[in-house]
Chain A
């Protein structure tokens, strides 16, 4: 009697574990599938993509990678360009956001909630609508074809989200901590350096990565601001891969380019994994 009940319970818990694992597997496939497919495509010949079951011996190739790495401007050059813009945008954005976010977190509840609502609205604004106006500005100021200049609109467009996340992080800190630091004799910059910044580290890391990602992926502004082939950023460079036309799409070369383009991101995410997760959930729960 007891035994059968125990067995039943065991059975039920086994079932729930199985169900959880199944769900987990589906999620993993959902997330990794496209990436795996891209990787597979990048090593396949054009013929193998159309007829996957023919010619099993000759379906694998490195020609896609050879193609994009041996083009007139080598592919690593674009990686470097995007990296420079990304780092500059992230640095500018974080340096400007930290003092502003601190200020917002210290405002009266009413004022700070108004500012946050405005910021939220700005963050949701479809920035594509701005790129023509931005192009005019770039032309007027003669700052086209300059990677550092490109990071200015990226910084500005990332500011609202960055301010929201960082001011939530500052707000989360118990205010006794800063008072204690004041009584210990720490002035504002010392408090920032020794107490506040170390404590909002995780939020800063996750914010920085979001800004970097935006800059890494951005297309329309980069397309219009940069025309010098040696200064193109990744998304624009990929779109210009030789052979793209209405009649033939070089799927293999595209895939190889996206695989190469995602490697730096994967490295960054792996390094800052734990900070990103704790920072993002903090913003999610209390932002």
Chain B
């Protein structure tokens, strides 16, 4: 089972929200759509779900063209950012409604919902209304509903964004395991690169409705294909050195070294991060971020440099990566 997008485009008025989107997600593959807000990532999920229709291109599920099939018939399991639980129904009824509508026998409904409630550790909450649940519990109910749909593909629209940081970290592996267990294609939309890097097998970075790069988290980090990806992936942000030529050099904060001579800098301030310290330096290239060992003392004026094999080179005008130049 695969999900495939071929040249999909969506236009609002005069503006293309998504253009020439090509994607392929296979069974058991966890792909994150990552991008800043307004880049078209939620729209692409709605196109796949059938809640909106593309203005060009095709959407294929298992090699069947579903572009003109209604969402009711598409068998999509979706978790919404707002969870979209039915507020007038309790947890059990929220989960049972879809099964009953799809003609499941009442005894099977009871078994399936019961099993799902214990799988997601919601025992004891089945007669609570969504408003009486915590954010984490609501998210589990939404996930349970998507799983009970027995879908062909999973679409997850920022399912973690309403949870606090600690809960997010706790839930990530569990969430990933439960949903990957079903061995279906999974498309996960997020603006949080940390979340994408930690959960996804592959990440597609979206910018202005175009996919800038698709690759594993490691590929995106070590070989960003454009300035946008280089800026977007990795914290602290990559440093860029523009020297008036047609190229821009990019160096990650951990690849910069303190040296006896090199680019002269002045220490602006530093952040203690525990395992290392982040130095913010002023130089003729602007603000530079450098990750240094935590135990060295830093003087006011210093020099920095880097090994050329750690450097990323981009074309100034197109922003594209230039590889294998050194």
Contacts and interface: CB of A to CB of B under 8 A. Distances in A.
A174 B83 CA distance: 11
Interface string B59-86: 0000000000011111011101110111
A174 B84 contact: yes
Interface stretch (A12-20, A34-42, A185-193): A185-193
B87 A199 contact: yes
Interface in A76-100: none
A183 to B, nearest CB: 5
Interface residues of B, number: 26
The residue among A176, A180, A183, A195 with the most chain B CB atoms within 10 A of its own CB is A183
A183 B71 contact: yes
A184 B145 contact: yes
B107 interface: no
A194 interface: yes
A181 B80 CA distance: 12
A194 B94 CA distance: 11
A195 B84 contact: no
Interface string A188-211: 001000110011000000000000
A198 B88 CA distance: 7
Please classify how large the interface on chain A is, using the bins under 10, 10 to 19, 20 to 34, 35 or more.
10 to 19
Contact of B101 (A179, A190, A198): A190
A185 B98 contact: yes
B227 interface: no
B97 interface: yes
A182 interface: yes
A88 B145 CA distance: 41
A176 B86 CA distance: 10
B97 A182 contact: no
A186 B149 CA distance: 12
Contacts of A198: 88
Contacts of A183: 49, 51, 71-72, 74, 76-78, 149
A198 B77 CA distance: 24
A182 B82 contact: no
Contact of B88 (A182, A187, A199): A199
Contacts of B71: 179, 182-183
Contacts of A249: none
Contacts of A176: 80-82, 84
A115 interface: no
A184 B80 contact: no
A186 B87 contact: no
B72 A180 contact: no
Interface string B39-54: 0000000100111000
B94 to A, nearest CB: 10
Interface in B121-135: none
A101 B86 CA distance: 21
Nearest to A177: B84
B210 to A, nearest CB: 25
A95 to B, nearest CB: 21
Given A195-B86, A198-B88, A180 B80 contact: yes
Contacts of A194: 86, 97, 101
B102 A185 contact: yes
Contacts of A181: 86
A174 B88 contact: no
B51 A182 contact: yes
Nearest to A197: B88
B293 to A, nearest CB: 48
Contacts of A182: 50-51, 70-72
B49 to A, nearest CB: 6
A53 B57 CA distance: 90
A186 B80 CA distance: 17
Contacts of B76: 183
A174 B85 CA distance: 10
Contacts of B81: 176
B88 A179 contact: no
A184 B84 contact: no
Given A176-B80, A182-B50, A184-B98, 14 more contacts: A176-B81, A177-B84, A180-B86, A180-B145, A182-B70, A183-B72, A183-B76, A184-B97, A184-B101, A185-B102, A185-B149, A194-B97, A194-B101, A199-B88
6 contacts: A177-B86, A179-B51, A184-B97, A185-B73, A186-B72, A194-B97
9 closest A-B pairs by beta carbon, nearest first, are: A184-B98, A176-B84, A180-B84, A182-B71, A198-B88, A176-B80, A176-B82, A185-B102, A179-B51
